[in-house]
Amino acid sequence: MSIVKEGWVIKRGGSIQTWKKRWLVLRGNTLYYFKKKEDTQEQGSIRLEPGMKVREEKNCKKSPFAFMVETPGRQYLMYPANKSSQENSAWEKAINNVLNPGSSAAKSSSVPQVSSINKPMVTSNNNNVRADDKFSASARADRDDSLVGRLMFSKGISPFLQAQDTQMCEFWNLWYNTVSQQLSEDATCDIMFDFSYSEDFNKLYWNSAGPQYLMIQQLVDFFYIVGAPEEEIEKLNVVGESINPDRIGSWINVSEKGGIDGGWCFTFPINLEVAINSVEQGPICEQIKKWGRTNGVQECFYLARDMGAEPPRQTEIRCRLEPGGAWEQAQLMYDLAGFPYPPNDVINVVKTAEEVYVAVNITEEEFVRVAVGIENPDSSVVRKFGNSRTQEVEAGLGPVTVIEFQYLKQDFGYSVYKEGYDVHVGYHIE
């Protein structure tokens, strides 16, 4: 059957509504979309049947010209990769010709072809944060309680992020710009951030999260900009079909020795086995699922995935534990990983804490990191396990919201992150 029309379009996904460049082919009464022009196996298809509709979509935020194919089960939103009004109309007419072969519009339809576009346009909003912004915790006498002010304060606590011409500083600014575009339009929008630093301030971590409809496209734009593998971006869609997240976010790590990492995260309760099955498989996953069943842990509250360019990529899962028995539950996770327990003074505090979680990082083949965290620790715990600058940071960010004790497996610090035992101090920013 001959091809009626073909060309590059940008298509919105399903459960996770990301935008992907696809080679769209109309053949007979079916639209096929391919990852590459030369592919022989389609990514998916839309069978065009009587009663369906195609129409211009005037409210698409990504392009002034877009079209919607309405089927009984789903609405497919797309726009030409070259954002051409003529090309958009041509697709509408070609599809309408199949759906309504006797209509006057179909009879007069003219279907010009579009030349291929090699790469979709992905831009970031660089107006939110200047690359040369400098903040120092010790230098700020006045606390800026705005979300932006507190985020910039967190960036300024470590000297290694103050250089203006480094890849690390550029990476941080790209992440901030892409996850905070809504803040410039609506300072009250439901976006929250978490920030933590290692005991010696040589590693910093940020996490953003908000409603999927606010965050998803900026998140994917960030991954495209920094060169995350497309198969990992696709994996986010696959995971989203299993979990259908209402909140989604991204995280980044940077370190004084040049470490730069990032990925996506879901920050709401998810059935533990569903979460594991959606991202990984193998003996390690089966062990964690068995741990959950044995200990009555049915949910995780945080699921994250590393988007690094090279494998092995990591998945992180965090589960809250029962007060009074938290250490016994966490201890079994350390035993599964074969990692040494934290010091006795940590264990003693965990045994009496009211809010405790265990976090585990895994690859397909092995455990990478195990941590036990105390949420909303009292002042005595903060004084005991914080450091000399904790009060200074609290002056800019508010009280400590988590103390985490972690063990990172040897060879997984990649010479840029501290391996073995470490303490992280965290803050919730909203």
Q: What is the pLDDT of residue 116?
A: 24
Q: What is the pLDDT of residue 74?
A: 85
| Greatest CA separation for the chain | 81
Q: What is the pLDDT of residue 423?
A: 97
How is 242-301 classified by DSSP, letter by letter? HH--SEEEEEEEEETTS-EEEEEEE-S-EEHHHHHHHH--SHHHHHHHHHHHHHT--EES
Q: What is the pLDDT of residue 75?
A: 87
Phi, then psi, of 126 in degrees rounded to 5? -95, 15
Q: What is the pLDDT of residue 186?
A: 62
Distances (CA, A) of 364 to 29, 213, 266, 283, 357: 42, 30, 20, 8, 23
Q: What is the chain's pLDDT, residue by residue, as a tens digit (430 residues)?
A: 678 999 999 998 766 667 888 999 999 889 999 988 888 888 889 999 888 999 999 888 788 899 999 998 788 999 998 888 889 999 999 999 999 876 544 443 333 332 222 222 222 333 333 333 333 333 343 456 788 888 889 998 888 888 767 888 888 988 888 777 666 666 677 888 999 999 888 899 999 998 888 888 778 888 877 888 878 888 888 888 888 888 899 999 999 999 999 999 999 999 999 999 998 888 999 999 999 999 999 999 999 999 877 778 899 999 999 988 999 999 999 999 999 999 999 999 999 999 999 999 999 889 999 999 999 999 999 999 998 889 999 999 999 999 999 999 999 999 999 999 999 999 998 7
Q: What is the pLDDT of residue 187?
A: 64
- Distance (Å, whole) CA 194 – CA 148: 13
Q: What is the pLDDT of residue 219?
A: 83
Residue 370: CB atoms within 10 Å: 26
Q: What is the pLDDT of residue 239?
A: 87
CB 368 within 8 A of CB 396: no
Q: What is the pLDDT of residue 425?
A: 97
How is 112-166 classified by DSSP, letter by letter? ------SS------TTSS-TT----GGG--S---SHHHHHHHHHTTSGGG--SSS
Q: Which domains does the chain have, with CATH numbers?
A: 3-107 (2.30.29.30), 137-429 (no CATH)
Helix, strand or coil for residue 99? helix
Closest CA to 29 of 69, 84, 74: 69
Centroid of chain to Cα 265: 4
CB 256 within 8 A of CB 413: no
- Distance (Å, whole) CA 190 – CA 389: 30
